[in-house]
Structure 1
């Protein structure tokens, strides 16, 4: 098989980082220009290319290197969008210094995307004879609602998937999930002088927050997951009241609860509802409601799967880099792939600064990743 072309990979990565693909949820233009550039790369490799665009102006890209038939199919995954650029000096400069490339998306995750493209190019140039299809799926909106991942899953169902989110070249086999939950306490609005009429929703929320803090301590004392640690929660946003001289009629709290594999949305919601119920048992006039906002399940790979084994062998064949298996505390689209019954693992480059004011990727790790992906595809898609 042809070695990965480092100069080509660097050129493509710089081009991708130079494109503003900030998700519209963060005030950016979205993924359209990125999708055009990536689709052009895939077409130049003579791959079959499909644009998935259920939402106008928000395309995802699917490229397929067709196999001769009879083998396993593999998806190499990355997302097209990034978070915002507040606080960054030159977010789209794609400057290279001392073996690192800087800019928004350099680490999360245009470097993973460039490695996928470089792996496909290496296979095409070597005229690799794959039995199964190799898919390259590059999706919109991972940083917000993940509708691009849902579109991709409606278009194909591969046997395996490698998610190239950054992992510092360690095989990631688990990540946490999360639940967003709202709690609203209700009181009675009145002039600030009329203590006989007003009921303070903010003070009611204060009682709830005391119970929530107790639950947070209890969660962190639970037995750790071997790769992910304990579950956790935090009070993310609090809004209540209209002015200093008015009793607050409503107070609204948004909670984020980080979850472990095996936890269910029903059980997590019941924990929060239980806090409200415990206060109401002491004070029947305590008025509060609990509502779910969003659920994203945790992910845990099968460590004995064929894909995980193939990746381990290919990584072991290239000594000198990081080794071992890790879990990540943040959520990824990997959970949606696994929930669809697809054998999924995560492997991405080395760097730092995801969502931060300075973001960079180690270029050597991008090239190593591309080589591992190409050889994994060659083995897995036999």
Structure 2
């Protein structure tokens, strides 16, 4: 049972997220493959498909009873393959690395957790393997899994360079709609330039980012951040623009909530409304995901560290993962995965020695935690 062979088979399956790339193949084919593989290794198979054509898989190896349950969670969707240097679906091994779309993010972790779970025997607790959809976009896969399954602990096998990840940032998106007044370009006395007014907000937003960067820091993650992501406005060169929309992203650290962020932005907009003539704006909250922080003394954290066989490197990630959803559901968890590089990039690879090492650490952790 070799994780390298399994990873090569996973890479050859197109599982591009169609919410990122219209027409993407999605998770159906790869979930079918994982279901067959896990079924052949004596797992009980549960297919969840709240969104037709976008399934997630939960495979359960039942224990004899009286032990703790452990969920291994990994997403099987990938970002797009356009612009990839070479054939993204043809795994290629060179200099101890395997190249291909998803090798690092995160089919390497999926292969390791599947093989590790299959290797374990004579456990008292259940091992739950969750191969989830849509982490690269909205994470509805893990959300759906958590509607039906729970566990005493979980490990998310996102790539972490074999370092123990105990925290990551969250995010919240907002739209700011700045109101102007349309008029012919020759009649400035009638028009209000929404794009020019938006400039005042952008300057204030930049200052807010600076204030965050110099403010209180989380011990692993540092400070929250904010940036303007998208801007649109205007109709034509000879017309004062009646509206300008700015989409922004605020990355959050533990202790910062969407309500907290919305209050920050509201104060900025209220100040501009009071001080800039003809400034009017509306703030709308979009998708929000909480930051994550694990308890370093949780049993699953201590068990995995004990199976490393060496002093751990503790890290935090600036990006969001499904750990936050698991933690919010009351499941103690952490993130631990392969070494490599190239997530979302033109070339992507996993270090194969790290894939083997991850599989061994997971096998030992499952045996101890569930046994």
Shorter-chain TM-score: what band? over 0.9
Deviations 1:244-275, CA, capped at 9 Å, x for gaps: 11110000000011100111111101111111
- Is 1:348 aligned to residue 337 of structure 2? yes
1:143 counterpart = 2:148: no
Q: Tell me, yes or no, if structure 1 residue 94 matches structure 2 residue 91.
A: yes
Q: Does residue 131 in structure 1 map to residue 124 in structure 2?
A: yes
2:37 aligned with 1:37, yes or no? no
Task: Confirm or deny that 1:248 pairs with 2:244.
Answer: no
1:20 and 2:14 are equivalent in the alignment: yes
The Cα of 1:189 is off from its aligned counterpart by 0.8
- State the Cα deviation string for residues 176-221 of structure 1 (Å, max 9, x = none): 0001011010111111111121110001101111111110100111
Moved over 6 A (4+): none
Following superposition of structure 1 onto structure 2, how do residues 106-185 of structure 1 map, counting pairs within 5 Å?
A: 106-123=103-120, 128-185=121-178
Listed as ranges, the matches of 1:303-318 within 5 Å are 303-315=296-308, 317=309
RMSD value, Cα: 1.1
Partner residue in 2 for 1:195: 188
Distance in 1, Cα, partners of 2:276 & 2:335: 49
Quote the offset at 1:140 in angstroms: 0.5
Work out the CA distance in 2 between the residues paired with 1:245 and 1:140. Answer: 47
Asked if 1:226 corresponds to 2:203, the answer is: no
Distance in 2 between residues matched to 1:18 and 1:247, nearest whole Å: 52
Question: Matched residues in 1 for 2:241 and 2:25: separation?
Answer: 38
Q: Specify the alignment match of 1:237 in structure 2.
A: 230
Normalised to the residue count of structure 1, the TM-score between the two structures is 0.95
Query: Structure 2 CA distance, aligned partners of 1:284 and 1:92?
Result: 56
The residue aligned with 1:367 is: 356
Q: Alpha-carbon deviation of 1:284?
A: 6.2
- TM-score w.r.t. structure 2 length? 0.97
**How far is the alpha carbon of 1:26 from its aligned partner?**
2.3
Separation in 2, partners of 1:162, 1:283: 50
What are structure 1's unaligned runs of at least 5 residues?
Answer: none
Q: CA deviation at 1:351?
A: 0.4
Q: What is the rounded CA distance, in whole Å, between the counterparts of 1:233 and 1:264 in structure 2?
A: 14
Say which of 313, 317, 323 aligns to 1:334. 323
Quote the residue 1:259 is aligned against: 252
Q: 1:323, CA displacement in angstroms?
A: 3.1
SS across alignment from 2:19: helix
5+ residue gaps, structure 2, are: none
